[in-house]
Structure 1
Amino acid sequence: MRILLIGAAGRLGTAVGGALADRGHDVLAVGRTSGDLRFDIADPAQITELYERVGKVDAVASAAGDVPYKPVADMTPDDYESAFRGKVLSQVELVRQGLANVAERGSFTLVTGVLSREPIPTGSAASMANGALDAFVRAAAIEIAPQRINAVSATVFTESLEEYGDFFPGIRPVDVADVAQAYVRSVEGGQTGQVYTLD
């Protein structure tokens, strides 16, 4: 399959790209500052340019999304708008614009996260964004068939515990390689409207 991978240079994106390439797929790596293609998916116009550049693909997989982390009392309207634009609208737009570019039975895989189910202090924007994406995936699935759409929702990565472990007390981490396999399942499998949880 020819697969467009957004956020390919990050920890998750690197693992996903490797897992897909190991299975013989042609992975087109997209990032803001690195990768085969340089585009910022937070800008709808750049998503249009990206699809014009790559043409038809069999799948789109996203491992990118930015949200601010602050206590609710310190958040501003701009912070919440930034979270919604950076993680939700960017991925929704990947799907909306991608419908014409993804194969008839192709797929979209989005990234959400554990905070829609297990909130933490300072994580309200991430919880909001993840919950919105979980709901979008379920709703979009009933409209875009036979194209498919799923999301991968993981907790903190084992490999990131040194940096982020203190924010997830008592929450079991997951190896990033296991998260990458959920992307493989979404891309190669037959399910749609699923949120694959790893926690």
Structure 2
Amino acid sequence: ELKVVFRNDMTAFNGVKHDQFENKGRFNATASEFFMRHLEERGVTTHFISRPDPDTMIVKRLEMVPLEVIVRNVAAGSMVKKYPVTEGTVLSPPVIGIDYKDDERGDPMINDDLIVALHILTPPELTAVKIVALQINEILSQFFDVCGIRLVDFKIEFGKADGKIILGDEISMDSMRLWDKKTGESFDKDVYRFEKGDVMTAYRRVLERIIPGFGG
């Protein structure tokens, strides 16, 4: 088992922007526990075991895969900068992108052939990762829809244990892009990135919508 402590630090633009916000760690731990439990109940295996403290999770030790898997339902963020697509364009079917986790190299995008050639994952493991990523997307998109929130995109990481592919890391407002379905208002880290308002208010509003009785 491992202990994961959620910090109050927030960074953007590869660490160029860096601040601390009271309650951020607690809010993200709350969200991560909620979503991991929600996914487990619907057949997705995660590393979550328990949450003994407001900002702490106990998780299963995994052999982490050095990849970030991004699932996009709507064009936004870096996708709009890199490709000829307008922000807000619905992507159907959802688009999976995979980045190689390496800070020094700037987390470059990586394709399936290279993932296999570098022995990061076998072809069956890579297929499993994509299937689970789309399953998670389906579950979370439906859930957020009921809460009046649009799941624009999200980033997840996987690990291996006993030969199985398991969801690791976190699922929180830090790792998702969320828009209000009616107004298009951001409820995620973009509020901080682009100074659209108070980011902790945005995070709290997500928790108030997804967790009945959440008092902040």
TM-score, with normalisation over the residues of structure 1? 0.29
Higher strand share: 2
Instruction: Look at both structures and tell me which one has the larger radius of gyration over its CA atoms.
Output: 2
